[in-house]
């Protein structure tokens, strides 16, 4: 580093990595980091394969030319991996040594909670860090929104719309399992957007007889020929739920597990725009002398949060979406409102 006029040490070289599960928009964030760094005369080193790559010195020099045409691509050009070795002090010491060997003064880490925990530990080794939240699960507690969530939702919605067409033709009941790990953000958002009969989420305990069996029976009596149930992977197995429905009422559901298809594909405009803003803000913070923070969203604004504070935060699912879904099925608001009394 060198000192600039206002007394802040000017950063000369940063590293950028993606870690954990891939999310559409990660490439857009990498691009923003590299281009913003270049505009400020900061060199950028791409660390391949996440924290393990930092341990192994698996790197490539990045320039504005090397990140051309990646804005529209899903996945991550830097690849991603999980590292058992980085979880131990010896592994983190190796990673810090790699930073010093390469002259990397700060790391921009793009990923989820696990990525941020790694960044926090690396900061304790004397390396400055900035985190950018990117996971389709939207389960980073310190941020209202994470890169990749919107694309994953749109992918799931498109798949379910297609399923609905063929299932309705055959008068079938559909059970669709979406990702989300231990959070129901994806399932609830997608369920509401597709007009699903119900969404089973980890945050809300459900009664199989009341919330599934009776709901199906009521819908069938009302003349509905096709029923859609969305299940968050953290709330149970769609295969198991489909089997129980058949055993309870004799209707044989068609079960679809969308799986990793939700992680791929071209990022939406929202994810590209959000990733670009977050990548820009991360580098700007480092240039202005701020580090060891997470770039998050709050009430629609991009904010910087101290990483230790960010890791202590808890985010709660907005259950108003759940009540809205119930209202859409009940055909009226009165019963839903009575549940809140």
- The domain spanning residue 60 has which CATH number? 3.40.50.450
Asked if 211 and 305 sit in the same domain, the reply is: no
Asked if 140 and 271 sit in the same domain, the reply is: yes
Residue 334 has a pLDDT of 44
Which one, of 265, 257, 225, 218, lies nearest residue 241 by Cα? 257
Residue 336 has a pLDDT of 43
Asked if 62 and 166 sit in the same domain, the reply is: no
Cβ neighbours of residue 102 closer than 8 Å, sequence gap 6 or more:
13, 15, 45, 57, 59
Asked if 331 and 215 sit in the same domain, the reply is: yes
Using CA atoms, how far residue 93 sits from 45, 83, 126, 154, 335, in Å, is: 19, 14, 10, 41, 58
How far apart CA 271 and CA 28 sit, in angstroms, is 8
Residue 341 has a pLDDT of 43
Asked if 69 and 102 sit in the same domain, the reply is: yes
How far apart CA 16 and CA 59 sit, in angstroms, is 10
Domain containing residue 164: CATH number: 3.40.50.460
Residue 8 has a pLDDT of 65
Asked if 221 and 298 sit in the same domain, the reply is: no
The model scores a pTM over 0.75? yes
Tokens 């990793």 sit on residue: 260
Asked if 41 and 175 sit in the same domain, the reply is: no
Asked if 226 and 276 sit in the same domain, the reply is: no
Asked if 114 and 68 sit in the same domain, the reply is: yes
Asked if 141 and 50 sit in the same domain, the reply is: yes
Whether the Cβ atoms of residue 73 and residue 266 lie closer than 8 Å to each other: yes
Write 243-249 long-range contacts (CB < 8 A, 24+).
Answer: 244/208, 244/212, 245/173, 245/175, 245/212, 245/213, 245/216, 248/208, 248/209, 248/213, 249/213, 249/216, 249/217
- Give the strand pairing for 173-178 and 254-257: parallel
**Under DSSP, is residue 24 helix (H, G, I), strand (E, B) or coil?**
coil
What are the mean pLDDT values of the chain's consecutive 10-residue runs (341 residues total)?
A: 60 97 97 98 98 97 97 96 94 98 98 96 97 97 97 97 83 91 95 93 92 88 85 96 94 93 96 98 98 96 97 89 81 47 43
How far apart CA 174 and CA 194 sit, in angstroms, is 12
Asked if 67 and 203 sit in the same domain, the reply is: no
User: Is the Cα torsion angle 51, 54, 59, 64 positive or negative in sign?
Assistant: positive
From the candidates 58, 113, 137, 150, give the one annotated as an active-site residue: 137
* Domains held by the chain: number: 2
Q: Which domain holds residue 202?
A: 152-262+318-339
Residue 7 has a pLDDT of 55
Catalytic annotation on 161? no
Asked if 275 and 325 sit in the same domain, the reply is: no
Residue 339 has a pLDDT of 53
């Amino acid at each position: 580093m060198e000192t600039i006029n206002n007394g802040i040490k000017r950063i000369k070289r940063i590293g950028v990595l993606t870690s954990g599960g891939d999310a559409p928009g990660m490439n857009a964030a990498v691009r923003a980091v590299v281009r913003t760094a270049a505009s400020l005369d900061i060199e950028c080193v791409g660390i391949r394969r996440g924290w393990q790559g930092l341990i192994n010195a698996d790197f490539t020099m990045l320039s504005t030319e090397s990140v051309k045409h990646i804005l529209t691509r899903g996945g991550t050009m830097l690849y991603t991996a999980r590292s058992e070795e980085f979880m131990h002090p010896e592994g983190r010491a190796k990673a810090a040594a790699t930073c010093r060997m390469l002259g990397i003064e700060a790391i921009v880490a793009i990923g989820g909670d696990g990525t941020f925990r790694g960044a926090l530990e690396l900061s304790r080794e004397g390396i400055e860090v900035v985190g950018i939240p990117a996971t389709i699960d939207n389960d980073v507690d310190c941020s209202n929104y994470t890169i990749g969530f919107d694309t994953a939702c749109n992918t799931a919605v498109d798949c379910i719309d297609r399923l609905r067409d063929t299932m309705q033709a055959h008068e079938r009941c559909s059970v669709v399992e979406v990702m989300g790990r231990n959070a129901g953000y994806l399932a609830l958002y997608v369920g509401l957007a597709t007009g699903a009969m119900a969404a089973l989420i980890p945050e809300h305990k459900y009664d199989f007889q009341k919330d599934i069996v009776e709901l199906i029976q009521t819908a069938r009596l009302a003349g509905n020929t096709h029923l859609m149930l969305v299940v968050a992977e953290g709330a149970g197995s769609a295969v198991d739920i489909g089997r129980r429905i058949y055993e309870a009422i004799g209707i044989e559901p068609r079960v679809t597990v969308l799986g990793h298809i939700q992680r791929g594909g071209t990022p939406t405009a929202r994810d590209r725009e959000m990733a670009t803003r977050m990548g820009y803000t991360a580098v700007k913070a480092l240039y202005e002398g701020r580090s060891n923070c997470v770039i998050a969203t709050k009430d629609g604004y991009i904010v910087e949060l101290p990483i230790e504070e960010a890791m202590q935060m808890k985010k709660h699912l907005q259950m108003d979406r759940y009540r809205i879904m119930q209202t859409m099925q009940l055909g009226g608001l009165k019963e839903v409102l009575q549940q809140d009394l």
